[in-house]
Structures are given as structure tokens and as C-alpha cells.
Amino acid sequence: MVDIDLKKVTSRKCKCLDCGNEFKGVGKKVKCPSCQSENVECSE
């Protein structure tokens, strides 16, 4: 039986420091989908 590892996709919980929007960040450079700000804080 083969187990497919779905945890390979890096997604983190991010919060925009400008507008307070919380979203899922994928990748290295995360941008707020609401205000397009790069001033976001992410937790691993």
C-alpha cells in the first residue's frame, strides 16, 4: 500500500498586519489577498 504524502505543500497560517486579514499562505513570498500588502506575519 502506498501512502501519498499530502503534507508536501507548504501552507501556513498568515495574518496581514495592515488590514488584519487572516489567510492561508502558500510559498515563500506571501501577499495579502485582500489588500495586496506584503506586510504579513506567518506561523509555521
**Interacting residues toward Zn ion by CB under 5 A:** 16, 18-19, 21, 32, 34-35, 37
* CB of residue 5 to Zn ion, shortest distance in Å: 32
The DSSP result for 1-44, as a single string, is -PPP-GGGS-EEEEEETTT--EEEEESSS---TTT--S-EEEE-
Whichever of 11 and 35 has its CB closer to Zn ion, that residue is: 35
* CB of residue 30 to Zn ion, shortest distance in Å: 11
Number of C-beta neighbours around residue 40 at 10 A: 21
* CB of residue 23 to Zn ion, shortest distance in Å: 9
